[in-house]
Structures are given as structure tokens and as C-alpha cells.
Amino acid sequence: MSSHLSSGRINVGLLKEVAKRELVDCFAKYDGTKTIVWDNALMGPFGLLAEYTFLLQQGCIQMIPLRSGKLPPIKAVNVVYIIRPELSLMQIIADNIKKEDKHFKFHILFMPRKSFLCERKLQELGVFGNFTSIEEYAVELFPIDSDVMSLEMNYAFKECVVNNDYTSLFHAAKAIMTLQSLFGIIPNVYGQGKSAKQVFDLIVRMRRELAGKEVQITPQIDCLLLLDRSVDLLSPLVTQLTYEGLIDELYNIKNNSVKLPSEKFAQPNEDNKNDVCGETMRFTLNSGEQLYSEIRDKNFNAVAPVLNKTAKQLTAQKQELDQAKSVGELKLFVEKLPHLQSVRKALANHISIVELIKETTDTEEFRENLQVEQEFLTTSNDKIHPYIEDCIAREEPLNKVLRLICIQSITNGLKPKVLDHYKREILQTYGFHHALTLYNLEKAGLFKVSTSFTRPYNVLRKTLRLTAEKVDEKNPTDIPYVHSGYAPISARLAQFLVQPGWRAITDALKLLPEPTIEEIQHIPAGLRKRRSSGSSTQSGIVDDQRVFLVFFLGGCTYAEISALRFLSQQEELNVEFIIATTKLINGNSFIESLCEPLKAQTIVDIY
């Protein structure tokens, strides 16, 4: 069920409906039954667009993952490859076809667009003529929730800042054009950073190419905020302390689902037995579940009281049943029963998840790591840190070490000799095959050498109120609660844009990667929104709530989303934030996207 997608101010479910219609049109071209060969990286995201039953209705009777070698026995007339436009995949496809001794109708559906280089590669491999059709399935945005959309591009940040490949920015611009075709032209555009400027320039060019053929719709989105991830490299690295953020930190949420150890949960019944895979159980996490929607954005320390309150409500309702005497009272309770059973099941699951998380968060190791993070965020320390040295000596996970060094580097800057010391220790302990990873981190701006006595972060911390000494985690009044004391720079920029405006933080914006963009997209006068005047507010007519689309170019975290949702709930801002991103990330996945360990054979060849 995807009814939750249409519960926000913007009907994100329209993206799914459009994607389904386009898929029906694509499959209609293939007469007969179909076997889908999946690009492994697309199987998860594709599930956000089309359910298994929907594919069966389109004649898809078999689905197999893309692997080199001979294909498994094919049951259908058509073999449809649904893949990304990557050259490495063409070799695997060619291997499949050359080893196939039966005749089938082969097709390729590139997502999100066809690639001339890939077609050329198929020609070189001698299999291009085997394909009946090569089409594209032009879907850029995947609906994650009623207020979240993602391009699901794992390496967008690395491709832009390390490889100088800006393909992801083109797809981001195409995605925004798709949104504008559904919800109207967004009149006000703001942005910060190089990627933001490039995306806006692409949008201008694409609109110009349409030459006035755009769909005439009254705008439903008031403002677009484009944020280059390079503007806020710090927030993805800091440990997320919201419920949803910690689940992602510890167990990795992928395409709205997470796999958790099955022994921690009650034995599955017939309804959910398919969600069990070996030693893990798969759980779907989205706003379709009322309890999860209530607790996901809370600080982890505030979750247990909510679960306790829910448990008491269920107990009270059970007592109502015991006390029911009349047939009418029993009938009323029976009508509530399905809802109560689903709440009870959700409650049991979330209690188990909280217990799982506490096994980690209650450890001295976790607390000490948080303490060091908070130290870097609130004090100046550009010296070699003993805790980082101890982590390296104990050979703790490299991601953990790199995250801490990056946090220290961004907040304080590192002297050349300190950075060289860290690099040397890492290479000697974890292996020289990580040399290219360290180079990538430096090129991406995560390893910074301090070149002056001024530290931009210290100025930003005061101007944007990035840290708070005291945070009420259970009843927060501001967004630092998502990291128990640190407010994401990205969320603060969105907040200041809404009120009082970026002109109030001009000096702070100059300390961030430029340029700053502030543009207006002209729309016909008849399509402009009409807002009630100030005088009408006094007569009881309240201004419409504004809708801001925040587009993260390079990924965003669940903690950042929680911070923006918190701001949406503040009456004085009168705004609702919708989030789009190239990928949902956490500190580990952010670092891993930049990792590029050399193979042992490569190192031997070098020497």
C-alpha cells in the first residue's frame, strides 16, 4: 500500500503513478511473456515504484538477477534487461547472450536514460544485433515517503567532487523539471555551492528548450532550495541520534526497509513469513505505520516514553473489552480490533528495535565516541587526538577513524604535520591500499589543512547557532536535538531562508562554498498564487502555509530530514519542507562512497 505517499501537501504518490504508466507503455511493446533480468543496484529502488503483483499483471513471469555466465532456464518469450547505463554491465550482458543456446527476444531498458557509449560497447562485443529493442525508462525520482524523494544515486557526491563527472546534476535538473510538470513552475529559487549553480543553469536551459510548451499549472511549491553537499560536509559525519537516524547508522535502511536479527523478534506468522531471510527479518519503515511516524524523528532518548504510553493505551482498551457488557459495546470494539492488533504488533517490534539499539548505545565505546565528536564540535583542538590514535592502535573500523578525523579537520582545521601523522598511522595499520581513499577525502574537502588562524566553523557556529549546551531531548524547542547538541548547517540555512531571510546571514554565507544564488522563475500572472492580506489574518483568514523544496545535491541524512520536519511543525515559520536528494546517506555510507582501496595486485605492479 502506498496511500501514505499522498498524505502530504505535495502528492508524492503522483511520481509513482507516472512511473507505473510509463512502465506499462514500455512493456506493451513486448508481445508475450517476459523475464526481467535485474541490475542488482536497481532491484531495491524499483520496488518503490512497482510492486511484484503489478509486474505480474504486465506479463512478467520470471525475475532473475544480472550475473555473468549463462542465464538460468528462461520461461518467457522476451528477456528484458533493466539496467543502469554502465559500461561494466555491458560485458556481463554480452556474456549472457553469447552463452545462450536458445533464441529469445532480447530487450534493454536503461534507467534513467540510454547511453551511446553503452550501445557502442555492445557493438564492440558483437551482441548489439541480438537486441530487438533498446529503450530508456526515464525515471529520476523515487518516492521514499510523503515528504521525501531520492534519485538513488550512490556515488553522486564522489562523481562530482573527485571524478569531475556531473551526470548526477543533469539527472537532478531533469527531476526538478519533472516535479515542475506535475506541481507547477517553482517561482523562487535559492542555492548555495557550485553544484547548485550548475543545476539551476541546467533548469534554465531545459525550460528554454521547451519554448513555452510547459504545462500551465498554478505552482504548489513556493520555493526551491538547492544545497551542494560540499556546503555542509560536517552533518553527514556526526552520529545521528534520532530513532530513524540510529537505525540507519547501525543497520542501514535501504529503500524504506531494514534487516534486523530475527532472534530478537517474535516468531513470524503466516502474514509476514516472507520477510524472514535466514537469520534476519526485514521491516518496512515509512509513515504508513502510525507509531513509526510518531517516533522516527524523536531523539532516541525520547522514544521509550512514547512506547510506554502506547502500551498503557492498549492495556486500557483491553480493559474496556473486559468491561463491555452490551452487544453494541462489543460490536464497537470488534470494529477497532484490526487497528489495535496492528498497533500491538508495531509496538512489539519497536520495543525490540529499541532494545537492539540500546545494546550499542549503552556501551562505553559508543559513549566515548560521542564525547569526542561533541568535543570537536564545541571546542578548538587541532592537535593529534589520543582517542583517534587509540582507535587506530586497536584497529577499529576504518570508517569510524576517518569520520572522526574528518570532523576534527572540518571544525578545527589540521596542521600539515598532524594530517600527515594521521595518514601515516592509517596506511601503516590498515594497509597502503587505502592511499587512494585518503587522496579522495582530501580532494573532496574532508581533510583540510589549516592555512590561517581564522576558523570558519567557529564563526558559523555562533552566527547560525549550530551548537547548544543544554538540549531537552524529550521536549525539544530547537533542532540541535537531532544530534543532542548540534544543529545541521543545512537545516539552519533552510530555517534562515524562511525567516528572516539570507540577507541576515550574508557574512556567514561568504564562509561557505560559493556561489550563492537567488533567482526568480517567471510564470504567467494568471498562475501566480494569491495570498490573503495581513488585514484578512485578523479577520480569521490565515495565510496559506508555504511549501519549500530542499534538494540535497550529494546526499542527505535522516537526522537532517528530522530537523526539517521539526521546523515544519513550528507555527511561527508557517512552512512545510519537502526533501529531495541524490541519495539518503549516513556517515559510514558517505565515507564508503569515497573509498577506493587499491587491489593487492595493483600495489605489486606499482613496485
With beta carbons less than 8 A apart as the criterion, state whether 108 and 131 touch: yes
**What is the bridge-based pairing of β-strands 142-145 and 280-284?**
unpaired
Evaluate if residue 335 carries a pLDDT over 90.
no
Would you tell me how many other CB atoms lie within 10 Å of the CB of residue 42? 17
Query: How confident is the model over 189-203, as pLDDT tens digits?
Result: 999 999 999 999 999
Virtual CA dihedral for 328, 332, 335, 337, nearest 10 degrees? -120
Distances in Å between the Cα of 46 and the Cα atoms of 51, 90, 210, 223 are: 8, 20, 29, 29
Q: Which residue has the higher pLDDT, 449 or 451?
A: 449
Q: In what order do the strands lie in the sheet with 280-284?
A: 257-261, 280-284, 276-277
Nearest CA among 231, 237, 354 for reference residue 589? 237
Evaluate if residue 583 carries a pLDDT over 50.
yes
What are 319's three cell numbers? 480493559
With beta carbons less than 8 A apart as the criterion, state whether 60 and 1 touch: no
Supply the pLDDT for residue 542: 40
Supply the pLDDT for residue 602: 45
Mean pLDDT within 435-456 = 87
Supply the pLDDT for residue 273: 46
Q: Which amino acid, one-letter code, is at 261?
A: P
Give SS3 for 472.
coil
Supply the pLDDT for residue 253: 96
With beta carbons less than 8 A apart as the criterion, state whether 243 and 294 touch: no
Evaluate if residue 9 carries a pLDDT over 90.
no
Supply the pLDDT for residue 323: 64
**Residue 93 pLDDT class (50, 70, 90 cuts):** very high
**Which residue segments constitute the domains of the chain, with CATH numbers given?**
3-139 (3.40.50.2060), 144-237+478-591 (3.40.50.1910), 243-361 (3.90.830.10), 367-455 (1.25.40.850)
Supply the pLDDT for residue 332: 67
Supply the pLDDT for residue 267: 57
Evaluate if residue 537 carries a pLDDT over 50.
no
Burial label for 183, CB within 10 Å (0-12, 13-18, 19+), is buried
**Residue 262 pLDDT class (50, 70, 90 cuts):** confident
CA dihedral sign of residues 198, 202, 208, 213 = negative
Mean pLDDT within 273-278 = 54
Mean pLDDT within 75-88 = 93
Nearest CA among 256, 150, 319, 224 for reference residue 547? 224
Give SS3 for 275.
helix
Evaluate if residue 543 carries a pLDDT over 60.
no
Would you tell me how many other CB atoms lie within 10 Å of the CB of residue 330? 12
% of the chain at pLDDT higher than 70:
90
What are 495's three cell numbers? 530555517
Query: How confident is the model over 456-515, as pLDDT tens digits?
Result: 999 999 999 999 989 999 999 999 999 999 999 999 999 999 999 999 999 999 999 999
Evaluate if residue 317 carries a pLDDT over 80.
no
Nearest CA among 116, 137, 203, 163 for reference residue 519? 203
pTM above 0.85, yes or no: yes
Region of residue 585 (left: phi > 0; alpha: psi -120 to 50; beta: else) = beta
Spatial neighbors of 33 by CB under 8 A, at least 6 apart, are 59, 60, 61, 75, 76, 77, 78
What are 283's three cell numbers? 521491516
Query: How confident is the model over 370-416, as pLDDT tens digits?
Result: 999 999 999 988 899 999 999 999 999 999 999 999 999 999 989 99
**Residue 605 pLDDT class (50, 70, 90 cuts):** very low
Q: What are phi and psi of 486, to 5 degrees?
A: -125, 130
Query: How confident is the model over 200-239, as pLDDT tens digits?
Result: 999 999 999 988 788 888 899 999 999 999 999 999 999 9
Mean pLDDT within 554-560 = 97
Virtual CA dihedral for 480, 486, 488, 491, nearest 10 degrees? 20
Average pLDDT, the chain: 89
